[in-house]
Structure 1
């Protein structure tokens, strides 16, 4: 099956660098490819998106960045508007604070979610990636998140890092405003929530667990 990974193109976090989180990309990529799935990438602006979370001592990250179907593919990523959502059985919104700026309210990303979910596919998002799900309305005009169990980077964790006044909105509160039933674990503890074909993870520590749940759902 084909899975689309979506990456932020936003690089500024109140004067600090941000972008898509490499660890949140590599672990799901490895799990899904090992399960036999094909992974494609888009980034909001196309081309080489900004990146954070690079651990130069992690051999999996090093191998990913050198792989023609990994980092080399990301370097020439397409924009969301340039792909056919109907070609994908799953979509995964990778985290990184940049997603708070360019995932939220993005019409092409909403269209991808509607298409994948409406055809019985899997929708997943990690850390700040659920910003892409806020405000998404399905074909029957219901909010995707209304009544659904979800998680994301928590407001408390944002506040503890002094970033609650830097990000454009509180992700946790936005999910709750859409009617989602939000839960979280303590900071830096893995927490993955599955509600039907919707899979969300709280933080980078949740990346592998989220990917395993995606693989299980794609196999059904």
Structure 2
């Protein structure tokens, strides 16, 4: 696959808005906004899709935050987020990378969506990059390749750590602990201290641990695509 300034990246968002009955959740805005900025600056075309389509639920809004404001007030972004296609309707052909945006909502619908796995598999097997940040690696749990093996099997990855889940008080709320489930599928989970930037690159698989790692994960995607 040849990558140029016209490369296309798909940002995948959760459609799940219920945080175990405690409050509303969704995709974490920073984890979409910062990669969007990085990819846009690189000259990439950025598209959005969500599990169910329509308007994806948001979490982590901070009024007056310049990064979030730039993202949410961009006319094209606003138009795209108002009518995201359902992943079932997305043709992965032509995407150079797929980036699974985090947020606690992903813990419910990313692992159970066959199209979350399908899009990642098709991008990866066509020579593209699969990336995910924070809880976004929940998308990788049931992402198997054509030979039936898990993409993460034998790979170094990261994602929201057990210690971070405990720190935010949601260990007993989420349906599973992300780091443990990735390890159960043969991955080596690499954790850094809580809420510090940590990006792990293993070939064409790029993962970031937490919101602080969103921009760094996107920069590594750009670097991997540029280096192939």
Aligned equivalents of 2:125 and 2:59: distance in 1?
32
Contact 1:66 1:72 in 2 (8 A): no
Aligned equivalents of 1:6 and 1:215: distance in 2?
17
- Cα drift, residue 160 of structure 1: 2.5
What's the counterpart of residue 41 of structure 1?
Answer: 48
How do 1:30-179 residues align onto structure 2 when only pairs under 5 Å count? 30-179=37-186
- Cα drift, residue 121 of structure 1: 0.2
RMSD, aligned CA = 1.0
How do 1:191-206 residues align onto structure 2 when only pairs under 5 Å count? 191-206=198-213
What's the counterpart of residue 2 of structure 1?
Answer: 8
Long gaps (5+) in structure 1: none
- Cα drift, residue 137 of structure 1: 1.1
Contact 1:20 1:96 in 2 (8 A): yes
TM-score by length of 1: 0.97
1:219 correspondence with 2:226: yes
What's the counterpart of residue 3 of structure 2?
Answer: none
Could you report, residue by residue, the CA deviation over 1:36-74 in whole angstroms, capped at 9, with x for unpaired residues? 110000011211111011222222321221223213311
1:27 to 15, 27, 34: 34
Contact 1:28 1:211 in 2 (8 A): yes
Stretches of 4+ moved more than 4 A in 1? none
- The number of equivalent residue pairs is 220
Long gaps (5+) in structure 2: 1-6
Aligned equivalents of 1:65 and 1:161: distance in 2?
25
- Cα drift, residue 219 of structure 1: 1.6
Could you report, residue by residue, the CA deviation over 1:166-213 in whole angstroms, capped at 9, with x for unpaired residues? 111111110000000111111111100000000000000001111110
